[in-house]
Amino acid sequence: MSIENKIINIISDKLGIDENEVVPDASFINDLGADSLDLVELIMTMEEEFDIEISDDEAEKLVTVNDVITYVNKIA
Amino acid sequence: MSDNKKQTIVVTGGSRGIGRAICLDFASPNTHVYFNYLSSSTSADETRDLIDKAGGSSTAIKVNITSDTEVNDFFRYIKEHTGKIDVLVNNAGITKDGLIVRMKESDWDNVIDTNLKGAFLCSKAALKTMIRQHYGSIINISSLVGVSGNAGQANYVASKAGLIGLTKAIAKEVASRNITVNAVAPGYIDSDMTENLSDKLKAELIKQIPLGRVGTPQEVAHVVRFLASKNSRYITGQVINVNGGIYI
């Protein structure tokens, strides 16, 4: 599974939404119904899944699905 | 029962006093108690032996809970061994009493760091696991004086009142993840912390307690265990006073 597909899979699973809804420019909070704790959980899952560390400062900048895909691709 | 089926209980300051009683109350074949100590490895060993005798199991680790690094290492160790944290009891506490006009800055800092910042750091570390597992209980050991105030203990009172605020804030923050956060406020309890009071002062204090006696560490521990049990899942953000009626 590509990094992108894996990320979409995690987001869909964590937020309980269809993978088709997880489009690149969807905002977690505005479009996908996530709350701030959901975001924290998502980031922690990404860290574990890809064996990376995302600082709080970086995490704040991850607003859309594409932000996460770009970020993880860059450092994983 | 394999280790990952056992409940993971974390107690700070478990080597003596109320902390030891809490560790012992949790001791059972279904739990593994992780507790930290700062100064006395002998007391920690004693607590461990007592837990063993009660049919439980435990791990004691020397951790300075005022250090972010040491706290994170402690919780990483626990996570690696059990993969989960069911219960965190923020019990570790110290006193450095004195009138405020004589209170050294270091006495203020040490008490606030251990009693309040320590609970913040441990809660933060534990919640990273609890939020993902969608359950957990945190119990903060506050104090009667955190509710009522007390002369000569500005630092201790501020830390214990601070714990109540911390309890309420975190309770609201993580309730949606099925995590409960409560505080227990013990009154005068027979423990290391009160053993240095003079007999005269003790007699005076007892006169003010409607139930007419000091409490035991076990009486505090039973309430903590209730707040950690499945029987109390609808209670969060509360302060339970265990004080013989001295403050109603």
Domains parsed from chain B with CATH numbers: 3-189+217-242 (3.40.50.720)
Does A75 contact B at CB distance below 8 Å? no
With H, G, I as helix, E, B as strand and everything else as coil, classify residue A10.
Answer: helix
Residue listed under structure tokens 């009522």: B148
Q: What is the DSSP string of B177-196?
A: GTEEEEEEEE-SBSSTTTTT
B177 to chain A: which residues are within 8 Å by CB?
Answer: 37
Provide the residue ranges of all domains of chain A, joining segments of one domain with +: 3-75
What's phi and psi for B81, nearest 5 deg? -85, -30
A40 to chain B: which residues are within 8 Å by CB?
Answer: 131
pLDDT digits (tens, 9 = 90+) for B166-224: 999 999 999 999 999 999 999 999 987 778 888 898 899 899 999 999 999 999 999 99
Which pLDDT value is given to residue B197? Answer: 82
Q: Which of B4, B17, B203, B176 is nearest to B94 (CA)?
A: B17
Dihedral sign (CA B17, B119, B132, B77): negative
Q: Measure the CA–CA gap between B66 and B69, rounded to whole angstroms.
A: 9
Please answer yes or no on whether B174 and A37 come within 8 Å at the CB atom: yes
Cβ contacts of B198 within 8 Å, gap of 6 or more? none
Q: What is the mean pLDDT of residues B94-115?
A: 97
Q: How many residues does chain B have?
A: 248
pLDDT digits (tens, 9 = 90+) for B42-81: 999 999 999 999 999 999 999 999 999 999 999 999 999 9
Please answer yes or no on whether A35 and B173 come within 8 Å at the CB atom: no
Please answer yes or no on whether A41 and B173 come within 8 Å at the CB atom: no
pLDDT digits (tens, 9 = 90+) for A48-62: 999 999 998 999 999
Which pLDDT value is given to residue B5? Answer: 84
Q: Which CATH architecture has domain A3-75?
A: Orthogonal Bundle (1.10)
User: What angle do the packed helices A3-15 and A36-50 form, to 10 degrees?
Assistant: 140
Which pLDDT value is given to residue A76? Answer: 78
Q: Which amino acid is at B98?
A: G
pLDDT digits (tens, 9 = 90+) for A26-39: 999 999 999 999 99
Per-chain mean pLDDT for chain B: 95
A41 to chain B: which residues are within 8 Å by CB?
Answer: 131-132
Chain A residues 9-68 with CB within 8 Å of chain B: 35, 37, 40-41, 44-45
Please answer yes or no on whether B177 and A37 come within 8 Å at the CB atom: yes
What's phi and psi for B171, nearest 5 deg? -55, -45
Please state, as a whole number, how many other Cβ atoms lie within 10 Å of the Cβ of residue B69: 9
pLDDT digits (tens, 9 = 90+) for B114-173: 999 999 999 999 999 999 999 999 999 999 999 999 999 999 999 999 999 999 999 999
Residues of A annotated catalytic, as ranges:
35
